[in-house]
Amino acid sequence: MKIVHTIKDLQAKLTALRAQGKTVGLVPTMGALHAGHASLVKRSVSENGVTVVSVFVNPTQFNDKNDLEKYPRTLDADCRLLEECGAAFVFAPSVSEMYPEPDTRQFSYAPLDTVMEGAFRPGHFNGVCQIVSKLFDAVQPDKAYFGEKDFQQLAIIREMVRQLQYKLEIVGCPIVREEDGLAKSSRNTYLNDKERQAALCLSRAVKTGKEVIYTGADAKEVLNPMKAIIEAEPLARIDYVMMVDALTMQPIEKADRDVLVAMAVYIGKTRLIDNFSYEV
Q: Show which residues are catalytic.
A: 37
Alpha-carbon distance of 107 to 127, in angstroms, equals 9
ω into 111 cis (within 30 of 0): yes
Closest CA to 139 of 48, 215, 51: 51
Length of the chain as a residue count? 280
Task: For residue 40, give the nearest of 165, 150, 199, 158 by alpha carbon.
Answer: 150
Helix, strand, coil percent content, the chain, rounded in steps of 5: 45, 20, 35
CA distance linking residue 238 with residue 45, whole number of Å: 37
**Residues 257, 225 contacting (CB under 8 angstroms):** no
Give the phi and the psi of residue 96 in degrees, each rounded to 5: -70, -25
- Compute the distance between CA of residue 116 and CA of residue 208 in angstroms, rounded to an integer: 21
Q: Do residues 102 and 126 lie in contact, with contact meaning Cβ atoms separated by under 8 Å?
A: no
